[in-house]
């Protein structure tokens, strides 16, 4: 079995005194149902699982909001009383019966001691197509994505995992461990984090099986498009689906995606794929303070795909090719490093919305791949797939936003250094000073913790 970090989060949720129904959101085949079953088994809970896609008539039952009627029906389907000690109710594919979403508040109000988990892959479509009172403040959400690199590492070479979780600012990583981690991280670029692909890689130890899984998942997604797109949009949706991995890191221009279709039609298809969690938007923000999403430009954005392994497969990048590429070539082959970091910047407690910074000027364009925050600090994040690269955009960000800390991901060993440099301005150059936190790509998932430790002054030493 593949361990998911979300198991700890579910345990914390289950232990809460005033526990609200938990709705797990995420794309298809990221492991939502498996997560709940494993959680129940591990904690010796009686799992009452009901797949609502197989019982569509329940929508009218939930619509009544009569808890006595609802409980009797669910008891009959489960074959036992669902409201019993040490039991958890799991409503899977909840988007199939949208009125069950509204009914969740009554589980919270009338049966607060019954743990209720719901999961749905196309939940946003159910929410946008139905008009009912949402149980605001009566439910909580958890956003599940593909496996992180840390989870992938636990499945492939767990002895290396402590080098991630036990790294602290200013400490070092042995060169031998660093090289092994770089190798595993490159494998993750190809395998990705879809549970079935990781399982095939771990159990078969053969990369062709991973390719077969990616092909199967892509076909399943394209078959699903008919569930949430009009017939005339299907061809365009399939086109955009395959185009997104080639656009990672680029500001979206609808004409570059399709010259035959109108911009509003392309935008509508992208919106549908975002709702289905097939891709995620990275919005251009002013980045003048927190919260970062308060001053974004919603019409200026980049796209990242749902999974780095799927993105690699859709761009035609096989494992043999990936092994031969040097760092510079990798940047030009689908921006997989940027995709990798994007997946690790998403917080499961929040909707997957990221921010980047763009300055378009006649003489000096600047673009920072991502911008994140730690406390009140606004921190630019640059991604390099190799061991070198200029920092001109970071310096422009420091100049315009007075940032004191910058982050660079690359293939080097971790380090922290204080930098004073000159940044180009319209009138010439201006000196800028900042602290640069350089981290290897494989530590992307640890960034929030590392930034918190830096902000709180928990730093072992200053590494050059």
* Interatomic CA distance for residues 434 and 411, integer angstroms: 21
Question: Would residue 461 count as lying in a domain?
Answer: no
What per-residue confidence (pLDDT) applies to 122? 75
Residues 139 and 160 grouped into a single domain: no
| CATH number of residue 64's parent domain | 3.40.50.300
Question: Would residue 207 count as lying in a domain?
Answer: yes
Residue that finishes a domain, picked among 143, 163, 198: 143
What per-residue confidence (pLDDT) applies to 333? 45
Residues 276 and 242 grouped into a single domain: yes
Question: Would residue 99 count as lying in a domain?
Answer: yes
Question: Would residue 24 count as lying in a domain?
Answer: yes
Residues 136 and 195 grouped into a single domain: no
What are the φ/ψ torsions at residue 326 (nearest 5 degrees)? -90, 175
DSSP string computed for 361-412: -SS--EEESEEEEETTEEEEEEE-SSS----HHHHHHHHHH--SEEEEEESS
Residues 93 and 18 grouped into a single domain: yes
Contacts of 325 (CB under 8 A, 6+ apart): 333
Q: Which helix (H) or strand (E) holds 296?
A: strand 296-305
Residues 254 and 382 grouped into a single domain: yes
What per-residue confidence (pLDDT) applies to 425? 76
Contact of 89 with 63, CB cutoff 8 Å: no
Residues 139 and 197 grouped into a single domain: no
Residues 321 and 447 grouped into a single domain: yes
Token pair 């061809």 is found at: 235
Burial readout 171-191 (b: 16 or more C-beta within 10 A, e: otherwise)? eebeeeebebbeebbbbbbbb
Residue that finishes a domain, picked among 143, 163, 189: 143
Residues 138 and 158 grouped into a single domain: no
Sign of the dihedral through C-alpha 223, 225, 226, 232: negative
Question: Would residue 1 count as lying in a domain?
Answer: no
Question: Would residue 364 count as lying in a domain?
Answer: yes
Residue that finishes a domain, picked among 143, 172, 195: 143
What per-residue confidence (pLDDT) applies to 363? 62
Q: Kindly report the average pLDDT of the chain as a whole number.
A: 90
Domain that holds residue 250: 150-455
Taking only Cα atoms into account, the Rg of the chain, rounded to an integer number of angstroms, comes to 23
Question: Would residue 462 count as lying in a domain?
Answer: no
Burial grade of 104 (CB within 10 A; 0-12, 13-18, 19 or more): buried
Question: Would residue 460 count as lying in a domain?
Answer: no
Paired tokens of 19: 């526990």
Residues 172 and 33 grouped into a single domain: no
Q: How many domains does the chain have?
A: 2
What per-residue confidence (pLDDT) applies to 133? 64
Which pairs from 35-43 meet CB under 8 Å and 24+ separation?
A: 35/4, 35/6, 35/7, 35/10, 35/144, 36/10, 36/88, 36/90, 36/92, 36/117, 36/119, 37/90, 38/1, 38/4, 38/7, 39/7, 39/10, 39/11, 39/14, 40/88, 40/90, 42/7, 43/11, 43/14
Residues 123 and 185 grouped into a single domain: no
Residues 161 and 138 grouped into a single domain: no
Which residues of the chain register pLDDT less than 50? 327-328, 331-334, 461-464
Residues 154 and 138 grouped into a single domain: no
What per-residue confidence (pLDDT) applies to 209? 87
């Amino acid at each position: 079995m593949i361990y998911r970090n979300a198991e700890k989060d579910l345990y914390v949720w289950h232990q809460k005194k005033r526990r609200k129904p938990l709705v797990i959101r995420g794309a298809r085949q990221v492991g939502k149902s498996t997560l709940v079953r494993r959680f129940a088994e591990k904690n010796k809970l009686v799992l009452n699982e009901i797949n609502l896609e197989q019982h569509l008539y329940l929508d009218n039952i939930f619509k009544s909001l009569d808890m006595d009627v609802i409980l009797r029906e669910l008891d009959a389907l489960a074959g036992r009383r669902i409201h019993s000690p040490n039991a958890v109710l799991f409503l899977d594919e909840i988007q199939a019966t949208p009125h069950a979403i509204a009914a969740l508040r009554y589980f919270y109000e009338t049966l607060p001691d019954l743990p209720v988990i719901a999961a749905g892959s196309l939940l946003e479509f159910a929410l946008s197509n139905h008009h009912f009172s949402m149980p605001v403040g009566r439910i909580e959400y958890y956003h599940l994505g593909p496996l992180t690199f840390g989870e992938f590492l636990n499945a492939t070479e767990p002895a290396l995992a402590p080098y991630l979780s036990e790294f602290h600012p200013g400490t070092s990583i042995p060169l031998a461990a660093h090289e092994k981690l770089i190798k595993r991280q490159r494998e993750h670029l190809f395998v990705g984090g879809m549970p079935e692909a990781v399982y095939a890689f771990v159990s078969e130890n053969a990369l062709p099986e991973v390719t077969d899984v990616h092909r199967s998942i892509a076909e399943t997604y394209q078959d699903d498009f008919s569930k949430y797109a009009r017939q005339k949009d299907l061809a365009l949706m399939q086109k955009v689906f395959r185009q997104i991995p080639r656009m990672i890191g680029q500001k979206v221009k609808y004409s570059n995606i399709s010259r035959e279709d109108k911009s509003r039609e392309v935008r509508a298809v992208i919106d549908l794929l975002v709702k289905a969690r097939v891709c995620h938007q990275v919005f251009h923000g002013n980045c003048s303070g927190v919260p970062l999403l308060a001053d974004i430009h919603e019409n200026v954005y980049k796209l990242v795909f749902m999974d780095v392994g799927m993105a690699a497969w859709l761009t035609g990048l096989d494992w043999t090719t990936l092994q031969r590429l040097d760092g510079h070539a990798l940047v030009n082959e689908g921006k997989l490093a940027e995709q990798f970091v994007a997946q690790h910047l998403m917080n499961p407690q929040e909707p997957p919305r990221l921010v980047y910074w763009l300055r378009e000027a006649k003489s000096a364009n600047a673009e920072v791949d991502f911008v994140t925050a730690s406390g009140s600090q606004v921190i630019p994040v640059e991604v390099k797939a190799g061991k070198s690269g200029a920092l001109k955009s970071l310096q422009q960000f420091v100049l315009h936003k007075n940032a004191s800390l910058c982050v660079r991901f690359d293939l080097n060993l971790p380090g922290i250094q204080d930098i004073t440099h000159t940044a180009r301005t319209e009138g010439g150059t201006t000196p800028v000073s900042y602290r640069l936190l350089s981290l290897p790509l494989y530590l992307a998932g640890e960034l929030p913790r590392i930034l918190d430790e830096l902000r709180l002054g928990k730093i072992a030493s200053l590494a050059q």
